[in-house]
Structure 1
Amino acid sequence: MSAESTEGVRLQKVLANAGVASRRVAEQLIVEGRVRVNGEVVTELGSRIDPDSDLVDVDGTAVQLDASKRYVMLNKPTGVVSSMKDDRGRPDLRRFTKDWPERLYNVGRLDAETSGLLVLTNDGELAHVLAHPSFGVTKVYIAKVEGRVTPQTVQKLTRGIDLDDGPIAADKARLLSASAEGGGSLVELTLHSGRNRIVRRMMAAVGHPVVELVRRQFGPLHLGTLPAGAARELTKVERGALLTLARRETSSPQAEEGEQEK
């Protein structure tokens, strides 16, 4: 990337093509020092970059330059396995990807009986960062559980409990509702653990087995009002937030560890 080079594409044109702003507004963003290329602030309007290799952010939020990358949010219903093809013939994710020409893959997994937010993408690098447990992407779950959960039990979840595969503590936990008539309780858990069936095992360990479980948030993404079984492309803001998270994580030492979760 060089202000003097005649190779590459002018930075303001790249920003306009990415839908960040009009070319005139993009020029203003550059002059104001709000645009970075590969982590360095660029204020020269003649600067050219390679959109295929350079990383651009505006006000600290990553800009998607590769239009071939697709990012989709799915509200996975219960009864569907987190796989593109199930060897046992169970309902899989292929029915939710047929509307996009790209071959999309799921980022991480949700149990078949767990519903909620699942990301589908053809961006393998981003999928690796978001799915691998070493990066600790935060997830928020709402669990309907048996019995009346007490504030003391909620405190126990955040202080930590011992499971067969080691201790675990929720980053946050709060009681949403508890029925005195035996109708169960609703608990919200925030975790960054990638361990298998971790919410179900945690709640069982404190005496409140899960009846229903839904993932409401994944990193910066919120399920919102997306109906069960529906999928939509991420908005520009959501894509920026997701790419910003991925770039921040890949700058850490863990980025070289592990394999992509399939």
Structure 2
Amino acid sequence: MSETPETDEGIRLQKVLSQAGVASRRAAEQMIAEGRVEVNGELVLEQGRRVNPQKDTIRVDGSRIPAPRRHMYTVFNKPRGVVSTMDDPEGRPTLTDYLPRNTRLFHVGRLDTDTEGLLLMTNDGEFANRLAHPRYQVPKTYLADVEGLVDNHALKRLTQGVTLEDGPARADKVKLIARNPQAQRTQLQITLHEGRNRIVRRMMDAIGHPVNQLARISIGPVRLGQLKAGEWRDLTREELGGLLDLVQM
């Protein structure tokens, strides 16, 4: 028997889950029967439910299942010394030097030239605009190697807030990684949702511990992991789903 064609009413839910790589259609049907699948916040138990994956929010075990990708969403590990632009009139290395030819992507936010680490790149303008907007408060985590031995009082100042020339700034979380008395250096992990220019460096200057080396290691659910400097990869389904939730798309 031939398969029932899809209609304007939508696509069968089990087919959407199968196309998203969640499970085979038969396994997806079992997930639905077990009450593990939601559509727009509603638990779905009946088989054959039709959905519009571009408009409906689908979750399995609470995790967002993004619609089939019409855009590119990538993670790039920007090396130190690379300018966060697609071209540079001074001839310095740029993001274009590391991406495949004819790949039309733009970066979401930026990292200063001396900062390395995670940059998100996409050709989805609405996604990029929301991700960069302060309204959604997407957390970003940095690994900072700084001058001097940062004491507990200084750590508390970062989370309570410091005053910068363009207003107050506060870290959401600060974790002490290591103090090195011999080198008079401290390594910190700093999480904040601010997106202002050179925000981490300026906060550390404000408490008297200038940054020697800085790397962004995560944005929301996206982790740099083992991605080497100069390399890029596509976002996973789980990462993209998590970011879509954060920016309410």
User: How many angstroms apart in 1 are the aligned matches of 2:87 and 2:61?
Assistant: 40
Contact 2:130/2:136 (CA < 8 Å) preserved in 1?
yes
Partner of 2:42: 40
Spell out the pairing of 1:46-125 with structure 2 (5 A cutoff): 46-98=48-100, 102-125=103-126
- C-alpha offsets along residues 203-236 of structure 1, whole Å, 9 cap, x if unaligned? 0011111111101111111111111111111223
Secondary structure, counterpart of 1:94 in structure 2: helix
Secondary structure, counterpart of 1:142 in structure 2: strand
Q: Taking every aligned residue pair, what percent have the same amino acid on both sides?
A: 51
Partner of 1:145: 146
Shift in alpha-carbon separation, 1:6–1:161, aligned structure 2, 3 A = closer
Q: After the TM superposition, list the runs of 4 or more consecutive aligned residues in structure 1 that deviate by more than 3 angstroms.
A: none
Secondary structure, counterpart of 2:247 in structure 1: helix
AA aligned to 2:223 is H
AA aligned to 2:41 is G
Contact 1:133/1:195 (CA < 8 Å) preserved in 2?
no
Secondary structure, counterpart of 1:134 in structure 2: helix
Partner of 2:4: none
RMSD: 2.0
Offset at 1:240?
A: 2.7
Partner of 1:204: 205
User: How many angstroms apart in 2 are the aligned matches of 1:209 and 1:6?
Assistant: 59
Partner of 2:189: 188
Q: 89-98 vs 222-231, which deviates more?
A: 89-98
Secondary structure, counterpart of 1:141 in structure 2: strand
Contact 2:162/2:203 (CA < 8 Å) preserved in 1?
yes
Secondary structure, counterpart of 2:187 in structure 1: strand
Shift in alpha-carbon separation, 1:53–1:183, aligned structure 2, 3 A = same
Shift in alpha-carbon separation, 1:17–1:102, aligned structure 2, 3 A = farther
User: How many angstroms apart in 1 are the aligned matches of 2:115 and 2:48?
Assistant: 51
AA aligned to 1:152 is H
Contact 1:61/1:244 (CA < 8 Å) preserved in 2?
no
Partner of 1:16: 18
Aligned residues: 243
Contact 1:38/1:56 (CA < 8 Å) preserved in 2?
yes
User: How many angstroms apart in 2 are the aligned matches of 1:36 and 1:124?
Assistant: 28
AA aligned to 2:225 is G
Shift in alpha-carbon separation, 1:35–1:124, aligned structure 2, 3 A = farther
User: How many angstroms apart in 2 are the aligned matches of 1:173 and 1:6?
Assistant: 51
Q: 83-92 vs 205-214, which deviates more?
A: 83-92
AA aligned to 1:174 is K
User: How many angstroms apart in 2 are the aligned matches of 1:53 and 1:178?
Assistant: 49
Partner of 2:31: 29
Secondary structure, counterpart of 1:175 in structure 2: strand
Secondary structure, counterpart of 2:93 in structure 1: coil
User: How many angstroms apart in 1 are the aligned matches of 2:67 and 2:185?
Assistant: 48
Contact 2:143/2:188 (CA < 8 Å) preserved in 1?
yes
Ranges in structure 1 where 5+ consecutive residues have no aligned partner: 251-262
Secondary structure, counterpart of 1:225 in structure 2: coil
| TM-score normalised by length of structure 1 | 0.85
- C-alpha offsets along residues 95-139 of structure 1, whole Å, 9 cap, x if unaligned? 23216x652221111111100111112222222222112211111
Contact 2:136/2:246 (CA < 8 Å) preserved in 1?
no
